[in-house]
Amino acid sequence: MRAHVDATPLLGARTGVGEFCAGLLAALERRADVDVRRYSVSWKGGTVRLPARALHELWRRVDWPPVVRAARGDIVHGTNFVVPPCRGARLVTVHDLTAVRFPTLVTAATRAYPDLIRRAVRAGAWVHTPSAFIAGEVVEVFGADPSRVRAIHHGLAPVPPPTGRLYDFPYVLALGTIEPRKDLPSLVRAFDLVAASDPDLRLVVAGPDGWGVAAFDEAVAAASHRGRVVRLGWVGEPDRAALLAGARVFAYPSLYEGFGLPPLEAMAAGVPVVATSAGSLPEVVGDAAVLVPPGDVDELAAALGRVLTDDGLRAALAERGRARAGARSWDDAAADMAALYRDVVACAS
């Protein structure tokens, strides 16, 4: 079975979608039953050297141009909300519906995704989602046939052993792109409340700048303990492992989530997790994290305080987290995806 898989998210700084693509592609390419052909669309560095935004504008209206040379019997998998027109069977991964649920929290380019998804679904494309929560939303919002929407949880790569620790002081860690949906300003405010009773505690925020960074910077500037907020940019694998190894607690204050790989990474490293109950997160973390309502600064601060000071709770969360994170690999996800590919191709035959 020949599968043309969009590797565009691997270009540039690695985001959550990029981690999904990297893990899935590597696992698919280890399989003997899938002939993986990578393609990417980018003005610079893509196998198809065309501006993605211009193509998306065209594909919202017409099924042209076809940028992937797929034959009938092949499958084309658009890994990031968009699957190009082609002769083969089509599958599109919809990571979340932020553009529908929270349109003010996304860029203009992202607000084009719902039209592209809707057009692909009407033309017969199947949909992959990373969670049952998002699968339900796809059926509700786009009127997709539930039998053609399949949830396959992401896998998790083994967490590499740390070569050391970056900091000696205790810290709350947040990993991810700085963007409005992640609600890091609320985390800064919650940390400010907790920091008042712990003079050694720091907040470490690591990840590339997205859009809406000004709100994060404003929250830091307004914090009483702003000097104890450590802002890192994108970090590579060794530093990421070291940051996780040294963290007292991992915080994930997202307003809305389609899956949530960073909390699972933290769990795999034995770090207690405090997250919101937004979107798919209860489905993903189960009972292995402390959950709080999204946007509730006081509840977030209280949860962080409990986990930081209650050794018994910390140990229980670490044990449950390791077990949950260890239950799913990228090879498992690739096996499920290969089965989905076969079903999509068989339906198109």
> What pLDDT digit, counting tens, does each position of 285-336 carry?
999 999 999 999 999 999 999 999 999 999 999 999 999 998 889 999 999 9
Q: Which pLDDT does position 119 carry in this prediction?
A: 96
**pLDDT of 258:** 96
- 160 falls within a domain: no
Q: Which two tokens stand for residue 116?
A: 């592209």
**DSSP reduced 3-state for 223:** coil
Range scoring the smallest mean pLDDT among 75-79, 160-164, 233-237, 272-276 = 160-164
At 56 the pLDDT is 93
Residues 6+ apart with CB under 8 A from 317: 272, 273, 288, 289, 290, 307
The residue-averaged pLDDT of 215-233 equals 96
pLDDT (0 to 100) of residue 187? 98
Confidence of residue 117 (pLDDT cuts 50, 70, 90): very high
How would residue 164 be classed by pLDDT, with cut points 50, 70 and 90? confident
Q: How many domains does the chain have?
A: 2
Same domain for 305 and 185: yes
- Residue 166 included in any domain: no
In a domain, 163, yes or no: no
| pLDDT, mean of residues 95-118 | 93
Same domain? 105 vs 181:
no
CA distance 212 to 167: 28
Residue 129: its pLDDT value, please? 98
Tell me: do 276 and 315 sit in the same domain: yes
Is the separation of the CB atoms in 330 and 26 below 8 Å? yes
Q: Which domain holds residue 149?
A: 2-155+329-348
**DSSP character at residue 71:** P
H/E segment holding residue 285: helix 281-285
Tell me: pLDDT of 108 over 90: no
262 and 250: one domain?
yes
Q: Are residues 28 and 66 in the same domain?
A: yes
Residue 107 has pLDDT above 90, yes or no: no
Residue 114 lies in a domain: yes
- In this prediction, residue 101 carries a pLDDT of 95
Q: Does the residue 26 lie in any domain?
A: yes
**Statement: residue 49 has pLDDT above 90:** no
Higher-confidence residue: 49 or 303?
303
Per-residue pLDDT at 152 exceeds 90:
yes
**Mean per-residue pLDDT, 37-62:** 90
Average pLDDT over every residue of 71-84: 96
| 165 part of a folded domain | no
Q: Are residues 179 and 320 in the same domain?
A: yes
User: What does the alpha-carbon distance between residue 76 and residue 6 come to, in Å, rounded to a whole number?
Assistant: 8
Rounded CA gap, 338 and 343, in Å? 9
pLDDT above 90: residue 12: no
Q: Is residue 146 part of a domain?
A: yes
Q: In 3D, which of 298, 302, 254, 249 has the Cα closest to residue 279?
A: 254
Tokens 């530093």 -> residue: 239
pLDDT digits over 185-221, tens only? 999 999 999 999 999 999 999 998 888 799 999 999 9
Residue 315 sits in the same domain as residue 204? yes
For residue 55, which of 38, 39, 75 has the smallest C-alpha distance?
39
**Do residue 302 and residue 335 come from a single domain?**
no
| Average pLDDT value for the chain | 94
Q: Please check whether residues 245 and 133 belong to one and the same domain.
A: no
Indicate whether 123 and 140 sit together in one domain. yes
**Is position 49 within any domain?**
yes
Q: Based on the domain organization, do 339 and 315 belong to the same domain?
A: no
Given a cut of 80, is residue 159 above it in pLDDT? Answer: no
CATH number of the CATH domain containing 135: 3.40.50.2000
Percentage, residues of the chain above pLDDT 90: 84
Residue located via tokens 């000097």: 227
**Do 333 and 245 sit in the same domain of this protein?**
no
The closest of 112, 229, 238 to 178, measured between CA atoms, is: 229
Alpha helices in 102-235 (DSSP H): 113-122, 132-142, 184-195, 213-222
